[in-house]
């Protein structure tokens, strides 16, 4: 028997993300595989030790870049736990809605390439189209499509715009349609079944031993979801199911993700109903910010609503404390206070200033959320300063990737890419 | 909530309080392996292994942090081991399979060696890399380019 060594990656047209897989082949069958990661390592944890707590937040967008809001959420919740502050109810509902939107985009971005790698390019286009609608919703509220930094320490950045409900409902309708179409195209497609059924099977014991969480663990039939086991936000007040697989193969991983999209839509719809109607933003006379600042220099206070820049939309004082915790020593004041009053100015300055800033008490904290790929948790050690002493991300993909070599051994070389796609490796999260 | 009384008595564990209500214990490094073998029955998942460098702040420089999850008990547990520079701790890769990669990462970033690890080499960084970047004495801006640069980097 003549063996052949083949290098797939790190730069390969079919690889999603930079990663190298060295495979030893007997014909087309893989005898041995070795996975080499780290091509996207950019020292996130080291950088975080040298940034203030607020400055770390934008970095978290770039971890799992297909569901940035869930990373924001995990980080913000970890810091809040360290500070011991609570978030207002409206902010919690908004966090849930946007977290679930992120989960849907994550799953869509995972399933789309699975289809594409197996020759179903239509699936890719349908899924990406649905994702586009969801990103429009994110865009309308957060001002960005991908790197949103929307969930902040203490709440969320801004309240939703007035046409939010309509936009979201339309996007969810499109997503439902796409999911239905893809079910029709793939779920009973004999070619798809042949390529995914019983490929890269992981048994339940193995999945646990490898530390799998999230959809990949649930595809083996094991019931564990952070949202159910350790409810956070208002997940205990909404009604949703946790889809399970049976065999733990590529098909089950695909199916669990498809069903989870439906459940996420259910959560969003219930949250929209249960969330209290936000305060109506008045449209009375508008004062330019520079006028207010000028008047404050002369000791005057200009009445009326302040005209804020488009990037500050949704942060008006009327809504600010509905979406942000009212903890003056940790949370920035609303912009109206900053421009008009000396106290607001001082508070803002103190919180932004290097060496002052947000200084949580010394201690350590680990807060997990259910990310797109599993349990996503931040471990933060604080020494009482304004920068984290040590920050570590528990990346769900890291544990799953450690099993990839085992999963593809004994299968054909053509199964590597679909398997790899079905576990949704995200380089940003894996390599940090 | 916490560990069973029996286990607490059998091993010399020291409980500390943390901000997140996860029971946290300090464990002697010799006792780590027998303790983990006992805990394996209840705690199915090894969530994470990481380390913290307390250079100049604590008596022993490193603390290796193990995070376990029990799905039957719905409990997370944190075990910490204090290590001095150059001290080794036994590997857990025979108990939980993902410990293999997690320990490689700790070795890569902190230079802590795990006794009995089957394949202890760098994971995120390349083999030629010198030093361990998450140690506190590794400078933030130090770069180790793999090709010779035409112009030296600015400080």
What's the complex ipTM? 0.89
Model pLDDT, residue A379: 92
Secondary structure of A217-253 in the HEC alphabet?
Answer: HHCCCCCCCHHHHCCCCCCCCCCCCCCCCCCCCHHHH
Chain B partners within 8 Å of A211 (Cβ): 45-47, 96-98
CA distance B132 to chain A (A): 11
Mean pLDDT in residue range B118-143: 86
Tell me which chain A residues have a C-beta less than 8 angstroms from the C-beta of B71. 222, 224, 229
- Asked if B19 and A365 come within 8 Å (Cβ–Cβ), the reply is yes
Helix A121-142 and helix A164-182, axial crossing angle in degrees, nearest 10: 170
Do A37 and B98 lie within an 8 Å CB cutoff? no
For A152, residues 6+ apart whose C-beta sits below 8 A from its C-beta are A57, A72, A76, A324
Tell me which DSSP letter residue B53 carries. Answer: E
Q: How far is B152 from chain A (nearest CA, A)?
A: 20
| Facing A211 at nearest CB: one of B45, B53, B125 | B45
Task: Report CB contact under 8 Å: B124, A41.
Answer: yes
Residues in chain B: 155
Q: How many helices (H) and strands (E) does chain A have?
A: 19, 10
Give the SS3 label for residue A6.
strand
- The phi, psi pair for A368, rounded to 5°, reads -100, 150
Determine contact: A80 vs chain B, CB below 8 A: no
pTM of the model: 0.90
Contact state of B48 with A82 under an 8 Å Cβ cutoff: no
A366/B78 Cβ within 8 A:
yes
Closest by CA position to A321, among listed A312, A309, A333, A329: A333
Higher pLDDT, A313 or B44: B44
What is residue A341's DSSP assignment?
-
A residues 174..233 contacting B (CB < 8 A): 206, 208-211, 213, 222, 224, 229-230
| Integer Cα distance of A250 and A323 in angstroms | 41
CA-closest candidate to residue A73, choices A101, A99, A91, A106? A99
DSSP state of A359: -
A206 neighbourhood in chain B, CB within 8 Å: 97
Burial of A282 per CB tally in 10 Å (0-12, 13-18, 19+): exposed
Sole residue written with tokens 């780290």: A38
The alpha carbon of residue A428 is apart from the nearest alpha carbon of chain B, in Å, by 12
Q: Tell me how far the alpha carbon of residue A41 is from its chain's centroid.
A: 19
Among B52, B71, B78, beta carbon nearest to A224: B71
pLDDT in single tens digits along all 432 residues of chain A: 788 888 887 888 777 778 888 888 888 888 888 888 888 888 888 888 888 888 888 898 888 888 888 898 999 999 988 888 888 888 889 899 999 999 999 999 888 888 888 888 888 899 888 888 888 888 888 888 888 888 888 888 888 888 888 888 888 998 999 889 988 888 888 888 888 888 888 888 888 888 888 898 888 888 888 888 888 888 888 888 889 888 888 888 889 999 999 999 989 988 888 887 766 666 666 777 777 778 777 777 777 777 777 777 777 777 888 888 888 888 888 887 777 778 888 888 888 887 787 888 888 899 999 888 888 889 999 888 888 899 999 988 888 888 888 888 888 888 888 888 888 888 788 888
By the 10 Å C-beta count (0-12 exposed, 13-18 middle, 19+ buried), B25 is classed as buried
- Tell me the mean pLDDT in the region B131-136: 88
A78 to chain B: closest CA residue: B20
User: Where in chain B does DSSP place strands (E)?
Assistant: 14-16, 24-27, 45-53, 62-70, 75-83, 89-90, 114-115
| CATH (residue range B3-115) | 3.30.460.80
The neighbouring-strand residues paired with A367 are A378
Among A349, A249, A245, A339, which Cα is nearest to A294's? Answer: A339
pLDDT reported for residue A284: 67
Token digits for A95?
């966090």
Residues of A with Cβ-Cβ distance to B74 under 8 angstroms: 229-230
Q: Where are the beta strands (DSSP E) in A312-432?
A: 363-370, 375-382, 390-394
Would you call A367 and B20 a contact, using CB atoms and an 8 Å cutoff? yes
Question: Of A45, A210, A401, which is closest to B97 when you measure between CB atoms?
Answer: A210
Report angle CA A315, A321, A324 to the nearest 5 degrees. 80
Distance CA A408, CA A387 (A): 42
Interchain pair A432, B97: CB under 8 A: no
Q: What is the pLDDT of residue A38?
A: 85
Enumerate the residues of chain B whose CB falls inside 8 A of the CB of residue A47.
140
Whether chain B has a CB inside 8 Å of the CB on A42: the answer is no
Structural domain spans, chain B: 3-115
Report whether pLDDT(B147) > 70: yes
Q: What is the pLDDT of residue A138?
A: 87
CA pseudo-torsion sign A349, A77, A175, A127: positive
Do B125 and A41 lie within an 8 Å CB cutoff?
A: yes
Structure confidence at residue B1 as a pLDDT band (50, 70, 90): low
A3 touches chain B (CB under 8 A): no
How many contacts, defined by CB atoms under 8 Å, are there between A and B? Answer: 94
Pair of tokens at residue A372: 């797109």
Angle at B18 between CA B139 and CA A333, to 5 degrees: 75
> How far is A307 from chain B, CA to nearest CA, in Å?
41
């Amino acid at each position: 028997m003549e063996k052949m060594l083949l290098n797939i990656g790190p730069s390969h047209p079919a690889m999603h993300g930079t990663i190298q897989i060295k495979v030893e082949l007997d014909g087309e069958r893989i005898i041995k595989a070795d996975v080499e990661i780290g091509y996207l390592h950019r020292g996130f944890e080291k950088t975080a030790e040298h940034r203030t707590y607020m400055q770390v937040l934008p970095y978290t967008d770039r971890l799992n870049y297909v569901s940035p809001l869930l990373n924001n959420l995990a980080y913000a919740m970890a810091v809040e736990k360290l500070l011991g502050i609570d978030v207002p109810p409206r902010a919690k509902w908004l966090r849930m809605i946007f977290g679930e939107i992120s989960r849907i985009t994550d799953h869509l971005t995972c399933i789309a390439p699975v289809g594409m790698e197996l020759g179903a390019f239509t699936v890719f286009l349908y899924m990406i189209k649905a994702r586009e609608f969801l990103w429009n919703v994110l865009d309308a509220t957060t001002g960005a499509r991908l790197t949103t930094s929307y969930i902040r320490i203490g709440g969320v950045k801004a309240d939703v715009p007035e046409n939010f409900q309509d936009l979201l409902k339309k996007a969810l309708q499109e997503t439902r349609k796409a999911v239905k179409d893809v079910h029709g195209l793939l779920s009973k497609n004999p070619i798809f079944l042949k390529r995914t059924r019983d490929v890269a099977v992981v048994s339940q014991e193995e999945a646990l031993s490898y530390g799998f969480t999230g959809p990949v663990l649930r595809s083996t039939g094991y019931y564990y979801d952070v949202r159910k086991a350790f409810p956070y936000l208002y997940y205990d007040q909404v009604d949703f199911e946790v889809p399970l697989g049976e065999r733990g193969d590529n098909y089950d991983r695909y199916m669990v993700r498809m069903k989870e999209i439906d459940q996420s839509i259910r959560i969003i719809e219930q949250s929209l109903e249960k969330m209290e109607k936000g305060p109506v933003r008045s449209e009375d006379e508008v004062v330019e910010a520079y006028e207010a600042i000028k008047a404050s220099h002369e000791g005057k206070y200009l009445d009326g609503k302040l005209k804020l820049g488009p990037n500050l939309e949704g942060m008006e004082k009327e809504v600010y404390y509905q979406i942000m915790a009212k903890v003056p020593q940790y949370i920035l004041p609303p912009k109206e206070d900053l421009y008009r009053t000396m106290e607001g100015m001082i508070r803002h300055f103190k919180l932004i200033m290097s060496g002052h800033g947000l200084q949580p008490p010394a201690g350590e904290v680990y807060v997990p959320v259910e990310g797109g790929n599993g349990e996503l948790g931040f471990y933060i050690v604080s020494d009482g300063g304004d920068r984290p002493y040590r920050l570590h991300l528990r990346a769900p993909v890291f544990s799953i990737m450690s099993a990839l070599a085992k999963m593809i051994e004994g299968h054909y070389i053509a199964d590597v890419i679909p398997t790899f796609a079905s576990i949704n490796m995200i380089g940003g999260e894996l390599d940090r | 909530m916490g560990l069973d009384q029996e286990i607490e008595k059998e091993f010399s564990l020291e409980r500390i309080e943390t901000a997140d209500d996860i029971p946290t214990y300090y464990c002697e490094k010799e006792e780590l392996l027998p303790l983990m073998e006992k805990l394996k029955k209840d705690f199915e998942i090894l969530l994470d292994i990481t380390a913290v460098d307390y250079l100049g702040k604590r008596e022993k420089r490193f603390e290796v942090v193990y995070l376990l999850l029990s799905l039957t008990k719905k409990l997370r547990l944190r075990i910490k081991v204090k290590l001095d520079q150059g001290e080794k701790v036994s590997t857990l890769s025979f108990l939980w399979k993902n410990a293999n990669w997690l320990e490689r990462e700790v070795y890569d970033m902190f230079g802590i060696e795990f006794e009995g690890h089957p394949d202890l080499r760098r994971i995120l960084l390349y083999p030629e890399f010198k030093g361990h970047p998450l140690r506190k004495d590794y400078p933030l801006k130090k770069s180790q380019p793999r090709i010779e640069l035409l112009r030296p980097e600015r400080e």
